[in-house]
Chains A and B, each alone.
Chain A
């Protein structure tokens, strides 16, 4: 069995046995319960919202709710990814957990890859599950289903993988606490950039739009999230389409195939940087 696989299995078992997973499960159950309740109420309250206007209230309510659920899923996934990786190198080295593993002949690259794979499997499964349940709840309570259900979920999964990779890279240089703060600041920066882009788009301010665009390339998890929002309602036209594309927490933006290619390349760069830095790090 390759070293990376052994480390990935170890990381998976660690995820399952640590208390953080129990906290995440409790929080997720609470979120899904509240979401079910909220969705049910929202669909009932907005039933006659549009009146004679050319507004599709079911699409508006469903896409807004699912957009919010996607944001929450991304946030919870980011929390999970950060907690599983933020102390992977320096944090574990400071606690004396890493040295016994690094001395073994598996190699540092395999160790890092294994940690990423372990965290990646857990985060992907988690985000995929929560997103799917959110789609099902929205569909069952309100009868609204996204135009393209797979792409938004995939965007969230890859977005969380990007956060896990960034957190792993940060863990080579920073202590656990500092890295946790840095990861959540990056997450916040991505979110803020999305909002700025939305404002810039609404007010036609090119500078804000440029800032948002550059930030999206630098922090592709935000762009993936926006592309996911866009895919939820890609077939909706008219006034409803315009309103839903403004979306919650950053407007919907079509990503295109270049975004996916860039994200894969980005993951490779971050991984390579982490490997190079870890290889040179004294423990």
Chain B
């Protein structure tokens, strides 16, 4: 896989890298695969970060990233340059994350998080369990509360508080106003804290 990544970086110079996203998107719309590749290399990791925050599973996140770019390149003709390409791409990613979350809820989580922890404990290179137990519990509480949130709240927490995007960018992605985003973020935080409080109390983080 690393070799594949190295090959990606080697052959990525087929297109002018100084072109903007929108110029590359225009070229890609005409079938220029080098422009598609450049766009992919630019946004592969940012999209992956957003998706991984939502799924917490690298394999599943890669599947979604693949779907995001396939969908984006197949529907480039629908991309109007009223918004930025990155915004349009993030919107596709969030929509696919929402779809996957619904599917995951229907499947009732075939791979439970507990099983993942048991595997981590058995791993020979795993750090001392006693040292990491408290930190894991903290992370666990955080992501458990995050996953309990409705999708629209979870997206806002990820975009604003974890990825630290500004309100304007979030407003572009969600297709709404900055004021509405601020209000929604405030509500999402309130809901998140309400979910987080009993979990933190259970692990002794707060009295």
> Do the two shown chains form a genuine complex with each other?
no
